[in-house]
Structure 1
Amino acid sequence: MNYTFDFSVLVGNFGPLIEGLQTTLLLALGANVLGLTVGFVVCLLAMAPFWILRLPAKMFIEFFRCTPVLIQIVWFFYCVPILFNVFLDPITMGIMALGLNLIAFNAEAYRAGIQAVPKEHHDACVALGLGAWHKTVYVIFPQALRNAIPVLMTNGITILQQSALVAIVAVADLMYAGKMLATNTYRPLEVFTAVALIYFFMSLPISQVVTFLERRQDASVER
């Protein structure tokens, strides 16, 4: 290999990458807020006893789990304005596109967490005379959240990485900034290596926390 890496091209050019990183973090944070909150609601609808609530929720989950994120982003950015005459700023559109995908995956994580709640706890709620709302908020949700946290955090890492796909629709995130910098400096290997390392060092701490939580859960089950 005759190629010689020259990372000096990055010196003085980190400004655009930092601005892109801020956009990436905003996209990931917004998508995770949607995924964590609306995901639980969609989960409850998918587990509802009435098919008129259950069927649309399940169709929503399967659609977003079974189609590529890239297609979802492109469709959302280009088809929604045309079909529904809705025009939002690119950051909001990106958050919604990524958030809808995350809602579907988090809904399944919550479902698994709810199914892991012991049947005795449900019976105890009935014995105590708790209504459906109090049972869900004070008994089911805390346990489901605790059971689902490792998967929810893993989904959060995934959506952070998948946020790079919004670069294809010209949202100025970290990936888009890296692409522009690579074009301007004619040093794509150095620039995209730096971008990859930034994503890596953002994801690694969360990944380690997930591993720690999974070990704690395994240890609690073995007791």
Structure 2
Amino acid sequence: MNYHFDFSFLSGSLSALLGGLRVTIELAIASNLMGLVLGFLLCLLVMSRWAIVRWPAQLFIEFFRCTPALLQIVWFFYCIPMMLDVFIDPISMGVLALGLNLTAFNAEAYRAGVQAVPKEHLDASVALGLRPWQRTVYVVLPQALRNATPVLVTNGIGSLQQSALVAIVAVADLMYVGKSLATEAYRPLETYSIVALIYFALSLLIGKSARVIERRQDAAGH
């Protein structure tokens, strides 16, 4: 292999990479917040006793789980403005597409977490006279969140990585900036290696932080 690595061209492009990284982090944080909140609400709809509520929610989940995330992003960017005559800025549209995708996956994680809540705890909350919304907020949600944390973290990391797909619709995230730099400098190996290392570092940091929080929750519960 006679290829010689040369990272000197990145010295003048650091600000562009940091700008792309900022957009990526914004997309990841906003879509994860959306997925965490709406995922639990969707979980409650899926577990409803009424079929008229349960079936549309299940259809939503199956649609987002059974179609490629790339196709969903392209559809949101191009089809929604054409169909509804609504134009949203690219970052908000990216958050919407990624967030709804994550909502579907998180709903299933929450459902498994809710089903793992001991029936005795629910019976005790009924005996204490808690209203349905109080049982949901104070009894079901904390335990479901704890049970689902490993899967939610995995989904969150996956959402961070999937945010790179918005580059195909010209959102100036880390991947898009990296692609532009690689084309301009004719240094794709160096550029994409740096971009990959940044994604790896972010994912590793999230995973390690989540494990620390999980261990503290387990210690507090014993």
- Extract structure 1 runs of 4+ deviating beyond 2 A: 208-221
Shift of 1:3: 1.3
1:91 corresponds in structure 2 to 91
1:184 corresponds in structure 2 to 184
- For residues 38 and 150 of structure 1, the distance between their equivalents in structure 2, rounded to whole angstroms, comes to 18
2:19 corresponds in structure 1 to 19
1:124 corresponds to which letter in structure 2?
A: A
Q: Do 1:47 and 1:54's aligned partners in 2 also have CA atoms closer than 8 Å?
A: yes
1:90 corresponds to which letter in structure 2?
A: P
1:138 corresponds in structure 2 to 138
Report Cα offsets for 1:154-192 as digits up to 9, x if no partner.
111110010000000000000000011111111011011
- For residues 69 and 214 of structure 1, the distance between their equivalents in structure 2, rounded to whole angstroms, comes to 29
1:93 corresponds to which letter in structure 2?
A: M
1:194 corresponds in structure 2 to 194
1:81 corresponds in structure 2 to 81
Report Cα offsets for 1:82-118 as digits up to 9, x if no partner.
1111110001000000000000011011111101100
- For residues 195 and 38 of structure 2, the distance between their equivalents in structure 1, rounded to whole angstroms, comes to 31
2:45 corresponds in structure 1 to 45
Report Cα offsets for 1:38-71 as digits up to 9, x if no partner.
1100000000000011000001011101111000
Shift of 1:209: 3.5
SS in 1 for 2:12: coil
1:15 corresponds to which letter in structure 2?
A: S
2:102 corresponds to which letter in structure 1?
A: L
Please give the TM-score of this superposition, normalised by the length of structure 1: 0.94
Shift of 1:13: 1.1
Number of aligned residue pairs: 222
In structure 1, stretches of 5+ residues that fail to align are: none
Alpha-carbon spacing, 1:67–1:182, altered in 2? closer, same or farther (3 Å) = same
1:140 corresponds to which letter in structure 2?
A: V
1:204 corresponds to which letter in structure 2?
A: L
1:168 corresponds in structure 2 to 168
2:39 corresponds to which letter in structure 1?
A: G
Q: Do 1:154 and 1:210's aligned partners in 2 also have CA atoms closer than 8 Å?
A: no
- For residues 185 and 42 of structure 1, the distance between their equivalents in structure 2, rounded to whole angstroms, comes to 46
Q: Do 1:150 and 1:213's aligned partners in 2 also have CA atoms closer than 8 Å?
A: no
1:129 corresponds in structure 2 to 129
Shift of 1:127: 1.1
Taking only aligned residues, the RMSD between alpha carbons, in angstroms, comes to 1.9
Structure 1 vs Structure 2: percent identity of aligned residues? 65
